[in-house]
C-alpha cells in the first residue's frame, strides 16, 4: 500500500474518531504529497525516498514551530504541533538510534577513505542515500562532522 493510501485510510479512521489533531496533520501530509506529485507533471507515484523526505520536512516544520512557541512561553500552541509531529512520525520507518547512525557513518567513512572535512560531501551523499527516512538530516550531519574532525 502506498503512502498516499495509508494516509487516506488513517484520515478515515481519524474522521470517524473525530480526532481533529490527527486529521489536521494527515491533511497536511496529503496536501504535501499531492503538491510533490503535481510538481513532476506526471500522474505517477513519487518515489518512496521522496515520500520520506516530505514526511521528515513536515515533522521538522512542526518541531521547529513547537520550539519557537515554547521559547515564547506558549505551551498551548506547542503541544498540538508536537502531537501532529508524532502522528506523522508513525508513517516513517523505524528510526535508527544515534549509535546505529554512528556505526553506519563509520562504515561509510572507512569505505570511502574519508579523512577530513573536505570529504564531508562524499560521506553525506552516501549516508543520506543509505539512511533515507531512517534518520533525520541534522543527526546525520552532526555525526559526520564529529567523525571527520
Question: 51: closest CA among 100, 101, 104, 7?
Answer: 7
- Residue 47: domain span: 3-89
pLDDT at residue number 131: 83
pLDDT at residue number 43: 62
This prediction has a pTM of: 0.76
User: Helix %, strand %, coil % for the chain, to 5?
Assistant: 75, 0, 25
- If asked whether residues 107 and 141 sit together in one domain, one would say yes
Per the structure, the count of domains in the chain is 2
| Final residue in a domain of this structure, among 45, 70, 89 | 89
Local mean pLDDT, 10-residue blocks, the chain (149 residues): 89 94 94 87 75 90 96 95 94 86 89 86 87 82 87
- If asked whether residues 104 and 83 sit together in one domain, one would say no
Distance CA 67, CA 44 (A): 36
| Final residue in a domain of this structure, among 44, 68, 89 | 89
- If asked whether residues 54 and 14 sit together in one domain, one would say yes
List the grid coordinates of 62.
Answer: 512542526
- If asked whether residues 112 and 84 sit together in one domain, one would say no
Reported as a single tens digit per residue, the pLDDT across 38-73 is 886 766 678 888 888 899 899 999 999 999 999 999
- If asked whether residues 85 and 102 sit together in one domain, one would say no
- If asked whether residues 46 and 77 sit together in one domain, one would say yes
pLDDT at residue number 42: 61
Provide the CATH number for the domain around residue 119. Answer: 1.10.10.410
Amino acid at each position: 500500500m502506498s503512502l498516499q493510501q495509508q494516509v487516506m485510510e488513517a484520515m478515515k479512521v481519524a474522521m470517524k474518531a473525530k480526532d481533529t489533531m490527527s486529521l489536521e496533520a494527515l491533511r497536511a501530509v496529503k496536501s504535501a504529497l499531492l503538491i510533490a506529485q503535481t510538481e513532476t507533471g506526471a500522474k505517477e507515484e513519487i518515489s518512496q525516498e521522496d515520500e520520506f523526505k516530505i514526511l521528515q520536512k513536515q515533522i521538522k516544520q512542526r518541531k521547529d514551530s513547537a520550539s519557537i512557541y515554547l521559547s515564547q512561553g506558549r505551551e498551548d500552541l506547542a503541544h498540538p504541533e508536537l502531537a501532529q509531529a508524532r502522528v506523522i512520525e508513525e508513517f516513517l520507518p523505524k528510526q535508527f538510534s544515534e549509535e546505529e547512525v554512528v556505526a553506519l557513518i563509520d562504515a561509510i567513512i572507512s569505505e570511502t577513505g574519508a579523512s577530513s572535512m573536505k570529504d564531508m560531501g562524499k560521506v553525506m551523499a552516501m549516508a543520506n542515500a543509505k539512511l533515507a527516512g531512517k534518520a533525520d538530516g541534522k543527526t546525520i550531519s552532526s555525526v559526520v562532522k564529529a567523525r571527520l574532525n
